[in-house]
């Protein structure tokens, strides 16, 4: 499934600017959360730190999913005045996974700070897989750009 538009957390924008996030040197991970995780309301507008440990509704460990997420192959590139943060698609082969959001966080940062999130379905609705593969397909233009 194609990931929806990614929302960069407000505090993450500051961390990109001040160098806390090293987008081409740190390790980033993607996790899945359930519909019970209030990302848009709880974290997106905040100016306080948003951390992996603050998430309370990550998809449960098991059935093809491992808590803590999958390590991304991330790139940070520049072309004619536009900077792009991109990563590889992620796939979970499972007997059953139900999720609403994908979240990317900085696993190198001491606080495991959250970078961005997206809805997995624009309705918004949960997405599920039963004896199949749940794939988060990153937009061809990358996760986000700065121009």
pLDDT digits 0-9 by tens, 28-37: 999 999 989 8
Closest CA to 32 of 66, 1, 68, 59: 59
Q: What is the pLDDT of residue 40?
A: 63
Can you give the pTM of this predicted structure?
A: 0.91
For the chain, give the mean pLDDT. Answer: 88
What's the number of CA atoms in the CB half-sphere (13 Å) around residue 107? 15
Eight-class DSSP state of 140: T
Q: Is the pLDDT at 101 greater than 90, yes or no?
A: yes
Q: What is the pLDDT of residue 125?
A: 83
One DSSP character per residue, 43-96 reads IIT--S--BGGG---BPPSBTTB-TT-EE--EEEEEETTEEEEEE--EEEEEEE
Query: Coil, strand, or helix at residue 15?
Result: helix
Q: How far is CA 139 from CA 5, 42, 118, in A?
A: 8, 25, 11
Distance CA 89, CA 75 (A): 12
What's the number of CA atoms in the CB half-sphere (13 Å) around residue 52? 21
User: What percentage of the chain reaches a pLDDT higher than 90?
Assistant: 49
Percentages helix, strand, coil for the chain (3-state, rounded to 5) are 10, 45, 45
Q: Is 43 exposed, middle or buried (0-12, 13-18, 19+ CB in 10 A)?
A: buried
Tell me: the pLDDT tens digits for 44-64?
Answer: 555 667 899 989 999 999 989
């Amino acid at each position: 499934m194609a990931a929806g538009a990614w929302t960069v957390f407000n505090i993450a924008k500051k961390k990109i600017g001040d160098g806390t996030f090293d987008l081409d040197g740190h390790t980033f991970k993607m996790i899945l959360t359930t519909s019970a995780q209030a990302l848009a309301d709880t974290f997106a507008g905040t100016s306080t730190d948003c951390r992996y440990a603050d998430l309370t509704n990550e998809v449960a460990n098991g059935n093809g999913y491992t808590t803590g997420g999958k390590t991304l192959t991330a790139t940070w590139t520049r072309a004619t005045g536009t900077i792009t943060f991109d990563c590889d698609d992620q796939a979970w082969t499972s007997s059953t996974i139900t999720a609403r959001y994908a979240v990317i966080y900085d696993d190198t940062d001491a606080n495991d700070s959250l970078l961005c999130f997206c809805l997995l379905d624009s309705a918004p609705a949960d997405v599920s897989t039963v004896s199949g593969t749940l794939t988060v397909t990153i937009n061809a233009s990358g996760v986000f750009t700065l121009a």
